[in-house]
């Protein structure tokens, strides 16, 4: 709780406690309004200001103010055109990196045998996504998938695609040569994040994640990222720290996604956040990263998030770290993801992703 503003202290002579409370609330509101106005005016908000945004009650007046401002900033940043990116999962199996939130983590014992999708099926899924209007196509593999195989699939998919839709890699950490090889194989960018709890609930050093992001940028790959996977257990300090990391990355997009609990995972005991609780969080991230970051993502596709400024939603097929089935059963197609956006009042971009560098 911040110190009482001077004007409130001066009013302490008032005998009526409710009057003091009212005045105090007014000053607090003003503070949130000031932070929001600073961000909307193009100013960079600091860690303490971002912490104050994350601290608001999700059903409060300030929460709606933050969400309104986020939507306005998102609208300006992407010129009113939201996007749908589509991901194809290439394999499933047990992964020794043991990220506790992931269904592939060995410790979660969901996938005990390895499966790899046939190339023809992968290409078919990518072409379906492209024909359906996806603005970018992602290939996702677990950290155990052979890198050389991933490059090969990437080359084949790139060759098969009929438009300039960007091809994005969602893979484990890689070195400098591998970063260059991704670029050479036809990838335009990567998705990568320093996840909440990285190094504590994962077996990956956060510095390794940052190094991969740096190498990707040096190889000419654009990077999309996100504050994820957010759960009720995360402190305001960690939300701030990880959000500011996304801003420093100068990404194609940032945003916030909630943790989907994997049955049996130790994290399931924390419960999960509702879309209503996630809305001011993704909105605060939007305000923190500023207009230069074109996109603001969330998952799963939901209208509350889209209303609050999420301008990037996901369609997915194949294996997925938030799903316990080999082929995701959550069922978001490009079409119904676009509908979520239009229901929330967005226009949807046609053609290659502006977030990944195509001109509007």
- Taking contact as CB under 6 A, which single stretch among the options 44-52, 99-107, 126-134, 264-272 is the one that binds ligand SF4? 99-107
Q: How far is CA 170 from CA 17, 137, 151, 216, 291, in A?
A: 55, 10, 12, 12, 25
Pick 301 or 321: Cβ nearer ligand SF4: 321
Q: Dihedral, CA atoms, 85, 215, 91, 144, nearest 10 degrees?
A: -160
Q: How far is CA 24 from CA 17, 19, 35, 52, 244, in A?
A: 10, 9, 17, 15, 29
- Taking contact as CB under 6 A, which single stretch among the options 51-59, 91-99, 270-278, 291-299 is the one that binds ligand SF4? 91-99
Taking 3-state DSSP, the helix, strand and coil percentages for the chain, each rounded to the nearest 5, stand at 45, 15, 40
**Is 116 near ligand SF4 (CB under 6 A)?**
no
**Is 95 near ligand SF4 (CB under 6 A)?**
yes
Minimum separation from the CB atom of position 236 to ligand SF4 (A): 24
Chosen residue from 4, 33, 72, 97 binding ligand SF4 by CB under 6 A: 97
**Is 321 near ligand SF4 (CB under 6 A)?**
yes
Q: How many CA atoms lie within 13 A of 170 on its CB side?
A: 24
- Taking contact as CB under 6 A, which single stretch among the options 14-22, 90-98, 158-166, 273-281 is the one that binds ligand SF4? 90-98
**Is 77 near ligand SF4 (CB under 6 A)?**
no
Q: Which of residues 201-220 bind ligand SF4 (CB under 6 A)?
A: 202
Q: Which of residues 322-351 bind ligand SF4 (CB under 6 A)?
A: none
The helix/strand/coil state of 38 is helix
Evaluate whether 330 touches 315 at the Cβ level (below 8 Å). Answer: no
d(CA 337, CA 317): 13
- Taking contact as CB under 6 A, which single stretch among the options 58-66, 96-104, 217-225, 339-347 is the one that binds ligand SF4? 96-104
Extract the tokens encoding 219.
Answer: 């190889």
Minimum separation from the CB atom of position 20 to ligand SF4 (A): 50
Q: Which residues contact 247 (CB under 8 A, 6 or more apart)?
A: 254, 288, 289, 290, 293
Give the contact letters, 161-190, x = binds to ligand SF4 (CB under 6 A), - = no.
-----------x------------------
**Is 194 near ligand SF4 (CB under 6 A)?**
no
Read out DSSP for 205-233? -HHHHHHHHHHHHHTT-EEE--EEEE-TT
Residues lying near ligand SF4 in the complex (CB under 6 A) are found at 95, 97-99, 102, 104-105, 142-143, 172, 202, 321
């Amino acid at each position: 709780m911040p110190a009482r503003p001077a004007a409130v202290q001066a009013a302490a002579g008032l005998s009526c406690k409710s009057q003091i409370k009212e005045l105090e609330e007014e000053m607090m509101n003003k503070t949130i309004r000031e932070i929001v106005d600073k961000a909307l005016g193009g100013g960079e908000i600091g860690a303490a200001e971002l912490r104050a945004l994350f601290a608001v009650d999700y059903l409060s007046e300030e929460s709606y103010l933050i969400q309104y401002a986020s939507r306005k900033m998102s609208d300006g940043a992407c010129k009113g055109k939201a996007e749908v990116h589509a991901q194809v999962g290439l394999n499933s199996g047990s992964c020794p990196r043991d990220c506790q939130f992931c269904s592939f983590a060995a410790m979660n014992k969901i996938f005990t045998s390895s499966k790899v999708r046939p190339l023809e099926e992968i290409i078919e899924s990518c072409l379906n996504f492209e024909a359906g209007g996806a603005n970018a196509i992602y290939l996702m593999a677990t950290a155990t998938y052979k890198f050389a195989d991933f490059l090969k699939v990437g080359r084949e998919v790139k060759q098969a695609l009929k438009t300039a839709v960007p091809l994005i890699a969602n893979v484990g950490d890689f070195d400098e040569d591998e970063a260059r090889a991704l670029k050479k194989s036809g990838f335009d960018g990567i998705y990568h994040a320093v996840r909440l709890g990285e190094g504590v609930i994962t077996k990956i050093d956060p510095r390794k994640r940052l190094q991969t992001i740096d190498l990707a940028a040096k190889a000419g790959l654009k990077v999309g990222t996100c504050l994820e996977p957010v759960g009720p257990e995360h402190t305001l300090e960690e939300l701030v720290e990880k959000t500011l990391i996304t801003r420093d990355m100068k990404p194609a997009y940032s945003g916030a996604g909630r943790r989907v609990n994997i049955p049996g995972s130790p994290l399931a005991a924390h419960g999960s956040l509702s879309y209503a609780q996630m809305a001011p969080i993704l909105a605060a991230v939007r305000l923190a990263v500023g207009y230069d970051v074109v996109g603001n993502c969330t998952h799963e596709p939901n209208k509350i998030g889209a209303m609050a400024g999420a301008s990037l939603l996901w369609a997915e097929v194949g294996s997925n770290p938030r799903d316990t089935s080999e082929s995701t059963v959550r069922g978001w197609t490009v079409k119904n993801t676009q509908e979520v956006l239009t229901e929330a009042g967005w226009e949807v971009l046609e053609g290659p992703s502006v977030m990944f560098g195509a001109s509007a």
